[in-house]
Structure 1
Amino acid sequence: MGRLMALDYGKKRTGIAVTDELHLIASGLTTVATIDLMEFLQDYLAKENVEVFVIGEPRRMNNEPSEAEEYIVPFLDCLAKVFPEISIVRQDERFTSKLAVQSMIDGGMKRKKRKDKALIDEISATLILQAYLNKKI
């Protein structure tokens, strides 16, 4: 059984989270520069078995896709071509950045650390993955 991997895809950075092999726990893995994402994924997948990519789906409050979707769709096409054996699913990512910051506050993280956008992206990916896991239960 392979891991599930969530990607909070952005123009500059992509937050990444993974599950354990039993799909019980979502954990933040890292944040990488989006320009380096495919190389990172190829390296990671050479060492780890991933069976599903969970990609954040940005939506507006009226449930229409946000403007970010226009640069995510070409990435999804590329991802499917490079890793055809790995399923791709989408997960609503509304409010994940706000929830990430709130979880940092609740955890007692200092203000300077809470401004770390890379950490926010990683936590957002973890929240996307956890929401997907919760939906599967």
Structure 2
Amino acid sequence: MRIMAFDYGTKRIGIAVTDPLQIIATSLTTVHPEEIWTFLKDYLQQEQVETFVVGKPLQMDGTDSESAQHVLGFTRKLKKEYPAINLVEVDERFTSKMASSAIAQSGMKKNKRQNKGLVDTVSATLILQTYMDTKGF
């Protein structure tokens, strides 16, 4: 069974998944928040997911950031729609900066590096990897 991670944003949601053996975290796609429920319904008909990992936006002092209320609404609906799937929140404070840095160092052409959706999927992958690292995968 896979683990699926989300980097939730009001314009885009970056999504990453593990392989079925939960060894490798891979970026999957970016979807608009209005399309996430259709995307999940379709994806979960094809693949088994045992855990959702959602990036929790925090301030540097550990308190909720401005976007935390949007993420809270998303996590509540995830729990309601998919009660059988575990849901875990992971501190995402540095993932966007780390994602931008990793993309910049990748040797990609500048126009590709500026693709915000790419930053979101890489951020979701970093959130997933953080979760996997804490679980000892």
TM over 0.5: yes
Given the two structures, how large is their TM-score scaled by the length of structure 1? Answer: 0.97
> Percent identity at matched positions?
49
Q: In the aligned structure 2, how far is the partner of 1:55 from the partner of 1:91?
A: 6
- Structure 1 residue 53 and structure 2 residue 52: aligned? yes
Give the structure 2 partner of residue 73 of structure 1.
Answer: 72
Q: Which amino acid aligns with 1:118?
A: G
Shift of 1:52: 0.2
Q: In the aligned structure 2, how far is the partner of 1:19 from the partner of 1:129?
A: 8
What is the count of residue pairs matched by the alignment?
136
Shift of 1:22: 1.4
Q: In the aligned structure 2, how far is the partner of 1:57 from the partner of 1:63?
A: 10
Give the structure 2 partner of residue 15 of structure 1.
Answer: 14
User: Structure 1: any 5+ residue segments left out of the alignment?
Assistant: none
Shift of 1:105: 1.4
- Structure 1 residue 36 and structure 2 residue 40: aligned? no
- Structure 1 residue 131 and structure 2 residue 135: aligned? no
Kept in 2, the 8 Å contact 1:58–1:66? The answer is yes
Given the two structures, how large is their TM-score scaled by the length of structure 2? Answer: 0.97
User: Structure 2: any 5+ residue segments left out of the alignment?
Assistant: none
Task: List structure 1 runs of 4+ shifted beyond 6 angstroms.
Answer: none
Shift of 1:114: 1.1
Give the structure 2 partner of residue 64 of structure 1.
Answer: 63
Q: In the aligned structure 2, how far is the partner of 1:19 from the partner of 1:134?
A: 13
Q: Which amino acid aligns with 2:23?
A: L
Q: In the aligned structure 2, how far is the partner of 1:32 from the partner of 1:90?
A: 19
Kept in 2, the 8 Å contact 1:12–1:35? The answer is no
Local SS of the residue matching 2:126: helix
- Structure 1 residue 93 and structure 2 residue 101: aligned? no
Per-residue displacement from partner, 1:24-71 (whole Å, max 9, x unpaired)? 110000001111001100100010000000000111111111111111
Local SS of the residue matching 1:81: helix
Aligned-residue Cα RMSD (Å) equals 0.7
Shift of 1:100: 0.7
